[in-house]
Amino acid sequence: MTTPACANHVFILMGVSGSGKSAVASEAAYQMKAAFLDGDFLHPRANIDKMSQGHALNDDDRKPWLQALNDAAFAMQRTHSVSLIVCSALKKSYRDLLRKGNQNLSFIYLKGDFETIESRLRARKGHFFKPQMLVTQFETLQEPGSDEPDVLVVDIKHTLEAVVADTIHTIQNRAG
């Protein structure tokens, strides 16, 4: 079923771990009085159990989770003019599952280089940083190209406040 275009819009904030997805989305949602969902909350129990045992998820593990996020986006846009969802969406195939049947969904790619994100992850207090995890994230990342016009880019090299402001401006221009 395809969602007809309407005034309500869902934005998925995507990017590698450490790009600021959760911090940017939660602050932008607060300032805009928009709905907010951390996509990790919708992982099925099997995925949580697998990750808890230290095993990485594969594409088959992610499919039901991505479908749940697609369903959540559909539901959120029914009651909110703007909704923000956090999901890394590193592969194009993941983004395709997330956007399936929903004309009112866009992505905001929080784009940063390895060095910027690594320095931010190292600076996090109370967070154990494994450099190999970031390497793996960048290896998995399929950067959106011109064939994905619903992906908007926000550069994260600035302060959190500036990135939030850029994100809000990007959302307002698209949702307009």
For residue 63, which of 83, 79, 42, 82 has the smallest C-alpha distance?
A: 42
- Give residue 24's pLDDT: 98
Cα(51)–Cα(119) distance, integer angstroms:
25
The pLDDT value recorded for residue 176 is 65
Give the DSSP H or E segment for 167.
helix 160-175
Q: Would you give the DSSP letter of residue 2?
A: P
Predicted local confidence at residue 134, as pLDDT: 87
- SS3 string of 107-128? EEEEECCHHHHHHHHHHCCCCC
CA 104, distance to chain mean position in Å, is: 15
CB 12 within 8 A of CB 172: no
What domains can be seen in the chain, in order of their start residue? 9-175 (3.40.50.300)
pLDDT of residue 61: 92
At 86-137, the pLDDT tens digits run 999 999 999 999 999 999 999 999 999 999 999 888 887 665 567 778 888 9
At what angle are helices 59-79 and 45-52 packed, to 10 degrees?
A: 130
To the nearest whole percent, how much of the chain has pLDDT over 90? 74
pLDDT profile of the chain (176 residues), mean per 10: 65 95 97 96 90 83 95 94 96 97 95 93 71 87 96 96 98 84
End-to-end Cα distance, the chain: 25
